[in-house]
Structure 1
Amino acid sequence: MKLLSVLLAALTVTNSLAAWTSTPFSPASVPLAVRSPYINAWLAQGAGTALNDNWATFWTGSIVGWAGYVRVDGKVFLTMGAPSVPGVTAPTKATQTDMTFTATSSKFTLTAGPVRIVYTFLSPVTPSDLLRQSIPFAYMSVTAVSLDGASHSVQLYTDISAEWASGDNSLLVNWSTSLGSILTHQVQLQTQSQFTEVNDHIQQGSVFYSVNNGTDITYQTGQDTVLRAQFINNGRLANTQDTAFRAVSDRWPVFAFAKDFGTVGTTATAPVVFSVGHIRDPAAQYVTKGNVLQSRSSFFFSQLSTPAAVINFFLNDFANATGTAAAFDSKVNSDSAKIASNYAGLVSLSIRQAFAACELTLSKTSSGAFNTSDVLLFMKEISSDGNMNTVDVIFPAWPVLLYTNPQLGKFLLDGLFQYQATGLYPNKWSVHDLGSHYPKALGHNDGGDEAMPVEESGNMVIMALSYAQKTGDLSQLRTYFGLLDQWTQFLITDSLIPANQISTDDFAGPLANQTNLAIKGIVGIRHVSFIAMAEIARLTGDTTRANNYTSIATSYVQQWQTQAIASGGQHLTLNYGNSASWGLAYNLFGDKLLKLNLFPQSIYDMQTAWYKTKINSFGLPLDTRHTYTKSDWEIWTAGIVDTTLRNQIITAVVKYASDGMSSQPLGDWYETSNGAVEGFRARPVVGGHLALLIL
């Protein structure tokens, strides 16, 4: 923890347009409750927006109302959100003095007169604990302490709005409050539809806002202005429930708690802890053998059978969650700092975002019991598309899984392997995704998915082997070797001279003879030869196939070099025969990661020298067709160049992430000339920013 404190202190910067310090830097949007595709709340701060300057927003930018006040000796201060309450004396805005984010939490410190208030938003990341990782809940904890040596009477107010429950504010919602040792507000759409989204919000399940009960806690549900005025005037809530169910935007129903800290002195109060989460069941639909649709539940249901049990476990796990998060944050910072001091901030900003696109699920046996041996991880292609388990989205995100828990990567690939092993998918290459609309993994039995033949086939082979190498678990390779071999046969046919097709950078359009795409295919072929030699040859004595693939891959590298290097010998081309073109050869990262040594060092040296002449203020362009880039591929590229250029690339990406030119969750597609966002936001591909941690 000492190292973490020193590192954070060294990286603390003053927000240039605001009066507070930001550690390690000031991102365009700060994660608040970021745990799943549907619990995904951010503070859009742009160049400088305090916690009490604006509303929290869903990753799309739509408001999810989350308000906060404190009352100090009868005087009310606004601490969170941007509420307006007519008919009362307008609260004074508390002054934000600093903001700190780590891989798991975001902390805001505000001064409310003579009292300091600290809000900590913790979205646990526990990759090796499947139960905890699968719970789509986050914490908000608040403490108070006197700054002037005197004692003060302090009360806290917080509410969430029904906006958390829907992507359409004209829809009807209903709600309830459960009383007992835990107080829980529950809100949901009155008319629900399984596996259906509206504006990327799920139209199914319920939102829960909870706190441990006590004589110092009051609650209330009702119209936003009524509840807020009640607290402003009285410092407590009325312990009443509004039962006039209505549309989200009809007198804006909110769900509130108030906490009386009593007399606050110079020792910080124990934190009051709130939880916010979303539960639905079933969580996803998945196509299985015979085209049978299977409903799958969230993993946590195998141990926690009701929402009440989930909430009870989660709230009472706060001390453990805090300690676990601190240890995880410390490891992330320590490992990242060994590479570059400013790398830790980029990695930390990326982790919650990457994991929040993922959900752990399991099926049930014929008896109705949960089948804990059948775990699948689903990933939503956030913002760029609504696809489910998109192979070329999983691939750039892959480093975050290899670094934190490779088994999660296996669970992610298993769904793709299992579907294609049914024979329902007719193409000879790998499927692009499991379904066009999350959370429906209905496959593409007509073969009409977005065609990225070399891209996706190479991706699947590379990821499968990297998992096996990292863990020593060869079960997936053994089970699906037939598919891997089938895709390799396709790569042998189509990867050395790639046909006119799109790659993962599909926004740039199709292109024939892509140099970087050919690298992926060649590496994929060599990967399967490795698989054959390491496992299949051992089991079956099939050394002929292994040696044949090795020979093909080696031959392809030699042929590739004659076509891929520009006529002047200074760089690789974007596409064969176009010596004026170049691009990021990020697919060479696979050769480095798996230590195949397929490509000679001269290629890496050549690219390093060339990129040093092309790097712009905000990074390396993706290729010569545009000046924009992808931050994930930049960090992958940083893994194949020398230390000097690696650090330049990291610095450029951090500069973009902290330039304040947007107010959206971290986007991976941006302009290298000025740092402006091109598109995409909140995507899991930022897991690729951890690429340097897995080399």
Structure 2
Amino acid sequence: MSLCLRFLLSAPFLLSAVNAWTSTPFNPPSIPLAVRTPYVSAWLPQGSGTALNGAWPQFWDGATLGWAGFVNVDGVSYNFLGTPDVPGATFSLATQQSFEFTSTQSIFVLSAGPIDITVNFLSPVEATDLVKQSTPFAYMAISAESTDGNAHTVQIYSDISAEWVSGDDSLTVNWTTTTGDIFTHQVQLEDQTLFGEVDDHTQYGSAFYSSPNTVSATYQTGQDIVVRAQFIEHGVLANTEDTNFRAVSDDWPVFAISHDLGSVTTATEPVIYTVGHIRDPAFRIRTQDRSLYFWSEYSSPAELVSYHVCYTPIPFTNLNPQISAFIGDYSAALTRADALDAQIESDANLINSEYAGLVAISLRQALGASEITISKDSTGGWNTSDILMFLKEISSDGNVNTVDVIMPAWPAFLYTNPVFGKYLLEGLFRYQATGLYPNKWSVHDLGASYPLALGHNDGLDEAMPVEECGNMLIMSLSYAQKTGDFSQITQYTALLDQWTQYLINDSLIPNDQISTDDFAGALANQTNLAIKGIVGIKAMSVIWGILGNTAQESNYSSIAASYVPQFEGFATSTTGPHLTLDYGDENSWGLSYNLFGDKLLGLNLFPQSVYDEQTAWYPTVDAAFGVPLDTRQPYSLICTHSTLDWQIWTSTLMTNNATRDMFINAVYKFASNGTSNAPFGDWYDTVAGLDEGFRARPVVGGHRT
């Protein structure tokens, strides 16, 4: 028995912590609060369990995002959000009673003396409405209810800090407050850097914090301890603005809104807050600047011209209709969210409840790494027929539309709206169709630094020849099969065929190269890469069939079919039987997750015996938190690491439910074991149940297989 296997079988199982509140369906590593884009991404870190008022919300990278909340009950103040320190002011902590998450919502119930408040963080997933889906805002809705049957006076308060606009707290910000039907605080850097980032935070545009301007609403801007003390002591804000613009960390300016709910017995209508960040232009692909799609409904390009030229803050008057509409849509948005949540839960429960929980915690993270953009037409108007979607490879690097990150996230896009997949691939196709990319294989990504998609005209992007060619072919056919829309495969047939030719030459016996698991290093004769390449060749055969070229369809089908028995001869261990990690290494093995492409496309290319052998093999190398990725050891002294997406993909290939559920249960145990406080890291240790540094990556979209 190998060292790896001995260690796996003897590893202890870690138990998750027990919280003082109920968590449904489980307590995740980090709770999504406002997750809409790579720059609107606020989370509550958990570890073994953290209440809503037990930590500051964080940006996905772990940096603090000031977001505070208080409720006054009969003149007594309770903190319910964040961990503010207000010297000289007296307040208690509300007690968290429960937490529940769905695919779109994170719902907390906290007790503040005789009042329970329900705080619902809704990050809508509006897959069939591009305007709504591209709107970079999220909701926080708060309602109150008496728990003792008596009436109590209740006031609600919340603020955000200037930490929402930069990754550098030493930089100077300015702000404005607009009153009218809604209160809106707008805050931005004084000196902005177009398309710039600091520690993955955008360095231009504006953050907005808004709430309806009811007769009971008040607002205030100023130093954090001053503004918060005003509410704690008086239950109302001063309707004043601090105009001493300064650095984010200089007396920590905050932007607050409060509401007096009056006398409360039964549950109140929710008080709505919205938070978000808008920048324009949002993106540059080569030499073209693009805007978020939502502008097409609420503003004309002419109204944005000063911002495009000078990069001064977007005038609030341009955003007032959009913010008002977003706030006014809350009730309908919640209804749509409830329906989507119920549908996802119902579908996922066809597997089991643990799988349903994993899918629910993954959706906001998967879609929250993307943005939908449009360009202008020749007249300067919005060209709503020119839609491109961009995805940030979060945490592992800042690449744009990384092909092997889109691929594992692909199932979430197919499930919510397959056209998202088309929009993600379109930019990659367009760039390579220019001929500017010099390599014969598919490009790895559109650019090294989000939100700039400048391409790789030097051909020096991270080379994953078989990986990315296979991915592009599989995703292209998958979209066409799902939708019946053949426009993309028709327009880019030459590129798809070019990549197929590469696979014919280099997928049966792959040369020394890296795969998507690049942290493991390069390796020749990778079994899993060969699978992807052969599936890619067969996919092109099907594409040719769709396009009516029966000669090419037959040709590529014959090639793929002839490669399969050769592959089995190269890749099947004589000591297993099971597939090896690389040809000739009889004691090696790995997750053969690329067989998922065969199942996704309905190709039936690989024989049932391959699936049966892998199903029988994996339980023999299972660890406490899943099956390791493979037997390579460059990233660990012992082969214990794996990835969540490939665990779930592999589960779909198993020929019995027991082994399928073994994989799902392992991922569920990792997600709920209380050892991490980062937004769902996908690279982890299958023995200790610890994440390995990746966080918030969209690849968790692969959980919706």
> Normalising to structure 2: TM-score of the pair?
0.94
Contact 1:515–1:575 at 8 Å: present in 2 too? Answer: yes
Matched, 1:26 2:39: no
Give 1:320's match in structure 2, choosing from 327, 332, 335.
Answer: 332
The structural deviation recorded for 1:262 is 0.4
- Please give the per-residue CA displacement for 1:26-81, whole angstroms capped at 9, x wherever unaligned: 00110000110001000001101100111000000000000111111111111111
- Cα deviation 1:510-531 (Å, max 9, x = unaligned): 1000000000000000000111
Aligned equivalent of 1:5: none
The yes-or-no answer on 1:623 pairing with 2:617 is: no
In the TM superposition, what are the counterparts of 1:110-259 in structure 2 within 5 Å? 110-259=110-259
Q: Secondary structure at the match of 1:527?
A: helix
Q: What aligned pairs does 1:136-535 form with structure 2 within 5 A after superposition?
A: 136-265=136-265, 267-287=266-286, 293-305=287-299, 306-535=318-547
Count of aligned positions: 666
Q: Deviations over 1:328-352 (max 9, x none)?
A: 0000000000111211110000000
Query: Which secondary structure state, in structure 1, belongs to the residue aligned with residue 215 of structure 2?
Result: coil
State the Cα distance separating 1:395 from its structure 2 match: 0.3
1:15 Cα deviation after fit = 8.0
Residues 200-224 of structure 1, C-alpha deviation per residue, up to 9 Å, x if partnerless? Answer: 0111100000011011100000000
Matched, 1:64 2:77: no
1:679 aligns with 2:680: no
Q: Are 1:602 and 2:609 counterparts?
A: yes
- Quote the offset at 1:643 in angstroms: 1.2
Distance 1:466 1:608 in 2: 25
Shift of residue 632 of structure 1? 0.2
Shift of 1:569: 4.4
**AA at the equivalent of 2:569:** T
CA distance in 1, matches of 2:232, 2:574: 74
Cα pair 1:406 1:471 within 8 Å, conserved: yes
**Letter of the 1:367 counterpart:** T
Match of 1:667 in 2: 681
Are 2:582 and 1:575 aligned? yes
Contact 1:15 1:26 in 2 (8 A): no
Displacement after TM superposition at 1:313 (Å): 1.2
Q: Tell me how far 1:494 sits from its aligned partner.
A: 0.6
Per the alignment, residue 3 of structure 2 pairs with: none
Contact 1:15–1:21 under 8 Å retained in 2: no
Deviations 1:142-175 (A, max 9, x none): 0000000110011111000000011000000000
1:292-349 CA-to-partner distances (Å, cap 9, x unmatched) read: x000000001101132221011001101100000000000000000111211110000
Structure-2 residue corresponding to 1:689: 703
8 Å contact from structure 2 (residues 65, 163) kept in 1: yes
Deviation string 1:485-522 (CA, Å, 9 cap, x unpaired) is 00000000011111110000001111000000000000
> Residues 205-257 of structure 1: CA distance to partner in whole angstroms, max 9, x if unpaired?
00000011011100000000000110111010000000000000000000001
Which SS does the other structure have where 1:613 is aligned? helix
Q: Indicate the SS of the match to 2:606.
A: coil
1:372, distance to aligned residue in structure 2 (A):
0.6
Which residue of the partner structure matches residue 6 of structure 1? none
Q: SS state of the match for residue 335, structure 1?
A: helix
User: What is the CA–CA distance in structure 2 between the aligned matches of 1:18 and 1:344, rounded to whole Å?
Assistant: 21
Q: Spell out the pairing of 1:629-648 with structure 2 (5 A cutoff).
A: 629-641=642-654, 642-648=656-662
Which whole-Å CA distance do the structure 2 matches of 1:181 and 1:85 have between them? 31
Where does 1:585-600 land on structure 2 (aligned, <5 Å)? 585-600=592-607
Q: Is the 8 A contact 1:381 1:393 kept in 2?
A: yes
Aligned mates of 2:399, 2:613 — CA distance in 1:
37
- Contact 1:141–1:272 at 8 Å: present in 2 too? yes
Unaligned 5+ runs, structure 1: 1-13, 288-292, 538-542
> Is the partner of 2:415 in helix, strand or coil?
helix
Q: What per-residue deviation string (whole Å, max 9, x for no partner) do you get for residues 257-297 of structure 1?
A: 111010001x100000010011111000012xxxxx00000
Instruction: Check whether the contact 1:36–1:358 (CA below 8 A) recurs between aligned residues.
Output: yes
Q: Does 1:556 align with 2:567?
A: no
Instruction: For 1:465 and 1:412, locate their aligned partners in 2 and report how far apart those are by CA, in whole Å.
Output: 14
How far did residue 544 of structure 1 move? 2.4
**Distance across 2 between alignment mates of 1:29 and 1:546:** 47
Distance 1:304 1:652 in 2: 46
User: What whole-Å deviation, never above 9, does each CA across 1:624-652 have from its counterpart, x for those lacking one?
Assistant: 12211010011000010021111111111
Q: Equivalent residue for 2:311? A: none
Distance in 1, matches of 2:465 and 2:547, equals 26
Paired with 2:89 and 2:412, the residues of 1 have a C-alpha distance of: 49
Query: What do the CA deviations read for 1:93-134 (whole angstroms, capped 9, x no partner)?
Result: 110000000000000100000000110000000111111100
TM-superposed CA distance for 1:536, in Å, is 3.7
Residue 534 of structure 1: how far off its partner (Å): 2.1
Matching residue of 1:584: 591
Tell me by how many angstroms 1:615 deviates: 1.4
SS of the aligned residue for 1:399 comes to helix
Q: Does 1:87 align with 2:94?
A: no
- The one-letter code sitting in structure 2 at the alignment partner of 1:28 is P
> What CA deviation, in whole Å up to 9, does each residue of 1:406-442 have, x standing for no partner?
0010000001001100111111000000000000000
**Alpha carbons 1:15, 1:48 under 8 Å: kept:** no
Q: Percentage identity across aligned positions?
A: 61
Aligned-partner Cα distance in 1 for 2:102–2:551: 51
For residues 657-687 of structure 1, the C-alpha deviation after alignment (integer angstroms, 9 at most, x for no partner) is 0111011100100011121111200000000
Q: Deviations over 1:512-557 (max 9, x none)?
A: 00000000000000000111122141xxxxx322211111101111
Q: Which runs of 5+ in 2 are unaligned?
A: 1-14, 300-317, 633-638
Secondary structure class of the residue paired with 1:679: coil
Q: Deviations over 1:444-482 (max 9, x none)?
A: 011110000000000000000000001111111100000
For 1:15 and 1:648, locate their aligned partners in 2 and report how far apart those are by CA, in whole Å: 18
Give 3-state SS (helix, strand or coil) of 1:549's partner.
Answer: helix
Aligned with residue 666 of structure 2, among 652, 660, 675: 652
